[in-house]
Amino acid sequence: MVAPARPVGGGGIKLPFQLRLGIFLCLAALVIGFAAWLLLPQPHYMADHQLQISMSGYNPNRLTIAAGRSTTVELVNSESPFHDGGGLHNFVLPEASISTVIPAKSSLVITLPALAAGTYTFYCDVCCGGKENPAMRATLIVQ
C-alpha cells in the first residue's frame, strides 16, 4: 500500500486569499507606476538663450549677453542624421576655449563663462564650408 503524499515546504503560515491578492495588486501597481515614471520625459532645462543650428547657419545669428557673468545657451540641432556628415554641427568659441559637437536631432546646454565686454565670433566648422562660410558664423556681443 502507498502512503498518501505529504505537502512539501513545511507548514508555514498560509495567508488568506484576499490578503495575498491585495499584496499582489499593491506590488503590481507599484511596479507599473515606477515604469510609467521612468517613461515620462525629463524636465526641460531652461537656458538663458537658445541657438538653432542648421545647414543654413545659426538662428539668431547675433547673441547679446551681459559682461562679467556666466550664461547658459541651449544649442539645438534639428538636422537629419541622414544629411551630409551625419547632420552634426558644432559650436566653437575660441576665446572661451569652447568647442562642442551637437549630434543630429538633439540639443545641448552649454555654459559660457564670464567674458569681458567685446564682440566675439563663434562658428561651426564641421560642415557646409566651416567657419569660412559666412552663414556658419555668428556674433556674440558681450556688454
Give the pLDDT confidence of 46-98 residue by residue, as tens digits.
899 999 998 888 999 999 999 999 999 999 998 888 877 788 899 999 999 99
In a domain, 135, yes or no: yes
Total number of residues shown for the chain: 143
Interval 24-53 mean pLDDT: 86
The Cα–Cα gap between 114 and 143 comes to 11
In a domain, 129, yes or no: yes
In a domain, 121, yes or no: yes
7, pLDDT greater than 70:
no
- Which residues span the domain enclosing 107? 49-142
The model carries a pTM of 0.66
User: Cell 539668431 sits at which residue?
Assistant: 60
> What pLDDT is attached to residue 64?
96
- Cβ atoms within 10 Å, residue 58: 22
In a domain, 68, yes or no: yes
> What pLDDT is attached to residue 114?
96
Edge to edge, the sheet with strand 137-142 lists 62-65, 137-142, 118-123, 89-93, 98-102
Q: What is the CATH number of the domain that holds 56?
A: 2.60.40.420
Q: Between residues 112 and 133, which one has the greater pLDDT?
A: 112
In a domain, 35, yes or no: no
Residue 103, preceding peptide bond in cis (omega within 30° of 0):
no
Give the number of domains in the chain: 1
In a domain, 117, yes or no: yes
The Cα–Cα gap between 26 and 127 comes to 55
